[in-house]
Amino acid sequence: MGTLFCLTLLLSVAPSTPGHVSGRADAAPAPGLRDLAAPLGLRIGAAFNDDPTLLDPSYATTLAREFDMGVSENHMKWQFVHPAPTTYDFKVADAQVGFAEGHGMTYRGHNLAWSRQNPAWLVTGPFTRDERIQQLRDHIAAVVGHYAGRVAQWDVVNEAFDGLADPLHDPWSVSIGFPEYLDIAFTAAHAADPTAKLFYNDYNLQAPNSKFDHLIDLVAGMKARGVPIDGIGFESHLSARSCTAKCTNDTLKNMLRAHALGLEVAITELDVSVQLPATSQKLDQQASVYRSVLEACLLAPNCHTFMMWGFTDKYSWIPSFVHGYGAALPFDEQYQPKPAYAAMAATLSTPPVAPSCAAFPDRATAQKAFDSGVLGAPMLDPDGSGTACENLPAVAAPVAAPATVEPAPTGEKLPAVPAPRAAPVVVAPAFTG
């Protein structure tokens, strides 16, 4: 069934606003995204813009109905939570965590070390290497310790690489050293809350590239040194385009590389901007990107977190930072669902099924499906060797010819019961997508 038809079908049968009751008195509210995701073992969430937005009834109601995980868009960053050397301000972050707890939502912490949104006192210095190390340790101990047992995941280090896979020249790498400061930060975060899962978070990870190669080398080295890292966060600030199975498979390949290291992955900051004005065609393209990223997460065995960077265009960061672009989130400024919402709801209702090597009679048939790029194809080659289903025989075993019974000589009686015939070998049909 075509994607556009699926979206049209869903929009035609669903209420205009998710969760609203239809005209029938006995009709139940339509399930929100969180209700659809929970049976799949997936947490689906959104960033909280700031404290005043929670006072907007439409914002609060939609947030609580649709999502079961939250993250602070800004108010756990150094600039806001640690404005002076000996001053911490948890007021807004506390309100957001409290809202999440009151509505059955878990929470992510973002972030503990980044090159941007730092207070002036931290940036100007000057500080010695030992002073920088102590600042980092003290900050992490204070912030993570304040939320110990209440924040389930932390983006410990954010964007240590630039867009070209080189380490950033930020206060941490310059003063402490790269990757030494990452080891220090993750170790300090684990000491402050051993129950929280710790992530490295970055952008431009949706397809195989040199940046992801460098990142895999980085985290592999950290694990070899015994650094407590649990996962990689895929930021996913994307632009609208028509996405097919290739988009899904590119993201899935990288997720499987992390899985091979024993790491989780999380979609942490998804939004999909469109060039304004947002036409219906552009919004359908946007929907295909949302669907594709969600498909990859559902197919990957190590992806259990799917976060959007907000949920309503009313409070999106995109228009203020990317001139001429916007409409990046699944709800419009009036909290009405867009095609992106319908695409995600449809994907959660009928999640993708990865092809399995058990469905193929031999390696040659599996390789043909893999090379054609069927949805979920990387699952046939999780080690990335290029050979699909390596444990299967190269070609299917030949089917044995059925046994024949020689006719009895003339004058002899045939046996009363024919000799049993061998059951024919059944060849499983090849996966067709």
Catalytic residue status for 269: yes
Catalytic residue status for 159: yes
Containing structural domain, residue 284: 30-352
Residues 195, 172 within the same domain: yes
- The answer to the question of residue 93 being in a domain is yes
CA dist., res. 97 & res. 230, Å (int): 22
Answer whether 188's CB lies under 8 Å from 137's CB.
Answer: yes
Element of type H or E holding 69: strand 69-72
Of 66, 73, 264, 269, which one is the catalytic site residue? 269
Q: What is the CATH number of the domain that holds 52?
A: 3.20.20.80
pLDDT attached to residue 408: 53
Residues 253, 373 within the same domain: no
Residues 199, 213 within the same domain: yes
Instruction: Annotate 318-356 with DSSP letters as a single string.
Output: HHHHSTTEE--SSB-TTS-B-HHHHHHHHHHHS------
Residues 298, 360 within the same domain: no
Residues 195, 309 within the same domain: yes
- The answer to the question of residue 128 being in a domain is yes
Residues 282, 383 within the same domain: no
- The answer to the question of residue 425 being in a domain is no
Residues 197, 293 within the same domain: yes
The residue among 290, 317, 352 that closes a domain is: 352
- The answer to the question of residue 427 being in a domain is no
- The answer to the question of residue 90 being in a domain is yes
Of 159, 235, 264, 295, which one is the catalytic site residue? 159
Total of domains in the chain? 2
- The answer to the question of residue 217 being in a domain is yes
- The answer to the question of residue 318 being in a domain is yes
- The answer to the question of residue 407 being in a domain is no
For residue 388, what are its two tokens? 């699909």
Q: For 219-260, list the strands marked E by DSSP.
A: 231-234, 237-239
Return phi, psi of residue 96, to 5°: -70, -45
Residues 333, 367 within the same domain: no
Tens of each residue's pLDDT in the chain, 433 residues: 333 323 222 222 233 345 443 334 456 678 999 999 999 999 999 999 987 789 999 999 999 999 999 999 999 999 999 999 999 999 999 999 999 999 999 999 999 999 999 999 999 888 999 999 999 999 999 999 999 999 999 999 999 998 767 788 788 998 999 999 999 999 999 999 999 999 999 999 999 999 999 999 999 999 999 999 999 999 999 999 999 999 999 999 999 999 999 999 999 999 999 999 999 999 999 999 999 999 999 999 999 999 999 999 999 999 999 999 999 999 999 999 999 999 999 999 999 999 999 999 999 999 999 999 999 999 999 999 999 999 999 987 666 666 665 555 555 444 444 444 444 433 333 333 3
pLDDT attached to residue 418: 45
Angle at 230 between CA 225 and CA 236, to 5 degrees: 120
Residues 78, 137 within the same domain: yes
Residues 370, 284 within the same domain: no
Residues 367, 304 within the same domain: no
Phi-psi region of 384 (alpha: psi -120 to 50; beta: other; left: phi over 0): left
Residues 256, 360 within the same domain: no
